[in-house]
Chains A and B, each alone.
Chain A
């Protein structure tokens, strides 16, 4: 294990390696030579020193000469016109011969030209046999393209490409690998001759390819190192006339980093070629070829491989796009399913609970929860409710973001270390613009074994420079605490679901607002209706009572006893109807008036009701058993009305008892208070218990017990306004007990 100091040095060395300006190495590989020309005269401004080996001339003699004078009017100048401005890749213009003294009968040279940053860069290498190359390469390519089209699965596509590249190039081992989000390369396919170690299924650490090299790989799709032991040939002069070092990003002869050459030698390979797989501007993967011996790759083969790389990239892109579209479609279908479930049940939470499997499949999760502040609705495997509450608090403190996701909660949510005991990955979307309400999915820890191709660490040499690792022996690492990472498409799906859920929530809020508006309207109507009732109904009743009385006074002496009784009945009936109207009115007000909560001392209240009722108790023997009563938070006037109704009922229905007993008490429970009023009066048949609290429901004939049938209905309404309940027990002639419960309200209770 490396010490901290070592690790620190390593980090610095890697950073230095990442800083190496590999696009301006100032030299080339010597398996060809390079000239830089200034247009339009095509004067040579820079050249590689190895022209001495290739052309037998000193580099200095070439500088300042127009190239056309050296190679004759061979159509080179005209060919330049065919170079595309936006394609920087070297383009084979023609094979040429140099007209230099002492240079006859030399084999022709292939001339490749490209422009980059205003420079015309011309590279030369030995020309192969064009005919043979095309005869061999074209059929190979054709078969490959046909097979590629038929291939469905990514692994197989890579296998085809690897096989094809090996056939075309003849490298000893060809492998295709794909980079993960961290940049580690996973070997997907490999084809190797005997004697080559296999890397299939292994993982090359991201640090093997520094960032600037990755960038270069994105631009220039193919690189060849024919011999790792080459001696680089410097470009002269080092600084071109513009005062800049020569940018060789696209040059096929670009010399590579000595670190890389050491890496190759450590790996036991002397020749290498890599073909970039670039998808949507991103380095998706590489086809990497190695050979134990130096190997020449002519430009025809390179061009074929580059083409193959491009076709492969397109094919992979198409496959990925198709599977992405498939996944999106699936996500969309699941979103629709969830939404319709929510809409059907008219509740986001209910809809969510009804289809646990879809909710989980949607995000490929093992658990999910809708959390609204303190309240949570879990589905599947989730952390316990208390942790969910803390998680919600934590989420609401994060920067304003619609979605949060992590594949490692122990790393990303340090505030709640316990969370990692229950899940490794989580994805959360906020589903309210105002409140800390979240829809959260959880993923289990995925204990992952990575087969590294050697320890993913580079070593530092004694100068503090980076020396590439020596060991490519497979090495297993167990990675813990991580879940399968959330894919972009899943995050997008979750956000889409969020938008739709918000839509439902908003629509519901609008509906509620509309409903509330309608309710206000109808309440108003009701108010004016009851106003009319009270005004218009009371007037005729008053008149009947008034005239009946006047009639009795003025003409009473002329009426028979019976007539007088009728007159009395008329008056009584009118008065009763008046009381009925009054009671109904106050009953309807009970439903509308806002509750005014205050501390209500039930003992004091009962005492005042008893005094109020004293006239009704005159001449009776009533044994009052009033137990100590608590103080409750309620609307004092309403509770007074309710208790008065119950107590006056107890007095009324026990009046046939010689010895009446009325007991009043309360039971205090954790969440509510139960109050009861018990009498030993006529009682009632439990069969009719459900009718007791209805409006105009009476269980006794009028002659027995007077009443309007509104009293108990009022009690129920009052108690229900307090979110409480009413009920009664009784038996005919054995008395009755009326109960009501009052929840423990606070002044802030929404009622």
Chain B
């Protein structure tokens, strides 16, 4: 079974649009949604409401930068400081191109940083690329053969097994 994608997004519109984009990217992974940084950490660290969740880390963490309670950079920091979580690929999603955030995120060990484009088509493309790259090619090294196979598999069998 494919690992899920963990999407952390507070804005309902962005959430909906991102989900549409993920849907269109035809990734087979489940998408688990958390609406703020605290909830995301609870999930990742299996605390609070998520104490009993299934084992395993998400395939990729799509993290909005500005989040209520605990912001994206703090979530990232905790992920990188927690041995069990350290290897999760983290992609920052943000509206902003502001430099300090970008620098800070890279300092904290982000894997990718995506400024959400205004153009919806571009947004879909970006999310889809991200999903494929990180959710499918999660385990390094990112060999293109495996990507091809997975894509082929999915085309021949629409429903995941």
Interface residues of A (CB under 8 A from B): 530-531, 534-536, 538-543, 545-550, 574-575, 578-579, 582, 585
What are the interface flags for B91-130 relative to A under an 8 Å C-beta threshold, 1 for contact and 0 otherwise? Answer: 0001111100100000000000000111111010000000
**Is B118 a contact partner of A534 (Cβ separation < 8 A)?**
no
Contact among A534, A542, A548, A549 for B98, CB-based, below 8 A:
A534
Among residues of B, the one whose C-beta sits closest to the C-beta of A578 is: B118
Instruction: Provide the bound-state CA to CA distance between A641 and B94, in Å.
Output: 25
Instruction: Provide the bound-state CA to CA distance between A549 and B20, in Å.
Output: 12
Q: Tell me which residues across on chain B come within 8 A of A578, comparing CB atoms.
A: 118-119
Among residues of B, the one whose C-beta sits closest to the C-beta of A548 is: B120
Q: Tell me which residues across on chain A come within 8 A of B17, comparing CB atoms.
A: 542-543, 546-547, 550
Contact among B95, B98, B101, B120 for A546, CB-based, below 8 A:
B120
- Give 10 pairs: A residue, B residue, CB < 8 Å, sorted on A: A534-B97, A535-B98, A538-B95, A538-B96, A538-B116, A546-B120, A546-B123, A547-B17, A550-B120, A582-B97
**Is B97 a contact partner of A575 (Cβ separation < 8 A)?**
no
Q: Tell me which residues across on chain B come within 8 A of A539, comparing CB atoms.
A: 11, 13-14, 95
Contacts A535-B94, A538-B95 given; indicate if A545 touches B20 (C-beta within 8 A): no
Among the interface residues A530, A542, A545, A549, which one has the most CB atoms of the partner chain B within 10 A? A542
What are the interface flags for B58-102 relative to A under an 8 Å C-beta threshold, 1 for contact and 0 otherwise? Answer: 000000001000000000000000000000000000111110010
Q: Tell me which residues across on chain B come within 8 A of A540, comparing CB atoms.
A: 13
Interface residues of B (CB under 8 A from A): 11, 13-14, 17, 20, 66, 94-98, 101, 116-121, 123
**Is B120 a contact partner of A535 (Cβ separation < 8 A)?**
no
What distance in Å separates the Cβ of B73 from its nearest Cβ neighbour in chain A? 13
**Is B94 a contact partner of A542 (Cβ separation < 8 A)?**
no
Among residues of A, the one whose C-beta sits closest to the C-beta of B117 is: A542
Instruction: Provide the bound-state CA to CA distance between A538 and B120, in Å.
Output: 12
Among residues of B, the one whose C-beta sits closest to the C-beta of A589 is: B99
Instruction: Provide the bound-state CA to CA distance between A545 and B120, in Å.
Output: 6
What distance in Å separates the Cβ of A745 from its nearest Cβ neighbour in chain B? 25
Q: Tell me which residues across on chain A come within 8 A of B101, comparing CB atoms.
A: 531
Q: Tell me which residues across on chain A come within 8 A of B94, comparing CB atoms.
A: 535
Instruction: Provide the bound-state CA to CA distance between A545 and B20, in Å.
Output: 14
**Is B123 a contact partner of A542 (Cβ separation < 8 A)?**
yes
Q: Tell me which residues across on chain B come within 8 A of A585, comparing CB atoms.
A: 97
What distance in Å separates the Cβ of A595 from its nearest Cβ neighbour in chain B? 16
Contact among B20, B95, B117, B120 for A536, CB-based, below 8 A:
B95
Q: Tell me which residues across on chain A come within 8 A of B118, comparing CB atoms.
A: 538, 541-542, 545, 574-575, 578-579
**Is B96 a contact partner of A531 (Cβ separation < 8 A)?**
yes
Contacts A535-B66, A550-B20 given; indicate if A542 touches B121 (C-beta within 8 A): no
Knowing that A534-B96, A539-B13 touch, tell me 7 more A-B residue pairs with CB under 8 angstroms: A539-B14, A541-B118, A542-B117, A542-B120, A545-B118, A546-B17, A546-B123
Among residues of B, the one whose C-beta sits closest to the C-beta of A552 is: B120
**Is A535 a contact partner of B20 (Cβ separation < 8 A)?**
no
Contact among A543, A545, A548, A579 for B14, CB-based, below 8 A:
A543
What distance in Å separates the Cβ of A588 from its nearest Cβ neighbour in chain B? 11
Q: Tell me which residues across on chain B come within 8 A of A531, comparing CB atoms.
A: 96, 98, 101
What distance in Å separates the Cβ of B21 from its nearest Cβ neighbour in chain A? 9
Instruction: Provide the bound-state CA to CA distance between A536 and B94, in Å.
Output: 10
Q: Tell me which residues across on chain B come within 8 A of A548, comparing CB atoms.
A: 120
Instruction: Provide the bound-state CA to CA distance between A534 and B95, in Å.
Output: 7
What distance in Å separates the Cβ of B127 from its nearest Cβ neighbour in chain A? 11
Among residues of B, the one whose C-beta sits closest to the C-beta of A585 is: B97
Query: Which 9 A-B pairs rank lowest in CB-CB distance, beginning with the nearest?
Result: A578-B118, A546-B120, A543-B13, A549-B120, A538-B95, A535-B96, A535-B95, A546-B17, A531-B98
Among residues of B, the one whose C-beta sits closest to the C-beta of A531 is: B98
Instruction: Provide the bound-state CA to CA distance between A579 and B97, in Å.
Output: 13
Q: Tell me which residues across on chain A come within 8 A of B97, comparing CB atoms.
A: 534, 582, 585
What distance in Å separates the Cβ of A607 from its nearest Cβ neighbour in chain B? 28
Q: Tell me which residues across on chain A come within 8 A of B120, comparing CB atoms.
A: 542, 545-546, 548-550
What distance in Å separates the Cβ of B155 from its nearest Cβ neighbour in chain A? 22
Instruction: Provide the bound-state CA to CA distance between A538 and B119, in Å.
Output: 11
Among the interface residues A534, A546, A549, which one has the most CB atoms of the partner chain B within 10 A? A546
Among residues of A, the one whose C-beta sits closest to the C-beta of B121 is: A549
Among the interface residues B17, B20, B120, B123, which one has the most CB atoms of the partner chain A within 10 A? B120
Q: Tell me which residues across on chain B come within 8 A of A538, comparing CB atoms.
A: 95-96, 116, 118
Among residues of A, the one whose C-beta sits closest to the C-beta of B123 is: A546
Instruction: Provide the bound-state CA to CA distance between A547 and B118, in Å.
Output: 11
Q: Tell me which residues across on chain B come within 8 A of A541, comparing CB atoms.
A: 118
Q: Tell me which residues across on chain B come within 8 A of A530, comparing CB atoms.
A: 98
Instruction: Provide the bound-state CA to CA distance between A428 and B86, in Å.
Output: 70
**Is B119 a contact partner of A575 (Cβ separation < 8 A)?**
yes
Among residues of B, the one whose C-beta sits closest to the C-beta of A549 is: B120
Instruction: Provide the bound-state CA to CA distance between A427 and B119, in Å.
Output: 74
**Is A545 a contact partner of B96 (Cβ separation < 8 A)?**
no
Instruction: Provide the bound-state CA to CA distance between A578 and B97, in Å.
Output: 13
Instruction: Provide the bound-state CA to CA distance between A536 and B64, in Å.
Output: 13
Q: Tell me which residues across on chain A come within 8 A of B11, comparing CB atoms.
A: 539
Among the interface residues A543, A550, A582, A585, which one has the most CB atoms of the partner chain B within 10 A? A543
Q: Tell me which residues across on chain A come within 8 A of B121, comparing CB atoms.
A: 549
Instruction: Provide the bound-state CA to CA distance between A578 and B96, in Å.
Output: 12
Among residues of B, the one whose C-beta sits closest to the C-beta of A538 is: B95
What distance in Å separates the Cβ of B35 from its nearest Cβ neighbour in chain A? 15
Q: Tell me which residues across on chain B come within 8 A of A547, comparing CB atoms.
A: 13, 17
Among residues of A, the one whose C-beta sits closest to the C-beta of B11 is: A539
Instruction: Provide the bound-state CA to CA distance between A540 and B11, in Å.
Output: 10
Instruction: Provide the bound-state CA to CA distance between A360 and B17, in Å.
Output: 79
Instruction: Provide the bound-state CA to CA distance between A579 and B17, in Å.
Output: 20
Among residues of A, the one whose C-beta sits closest to the C-beta of B101 is: A531
Q: Tell me which residues across on chain A come within 8 A of B98, comparing CB atoms.
A: 530-531, 534-535
What distance in Å separates the Cβ of B17 from its nearest Cβ neighbour in chain A? 4
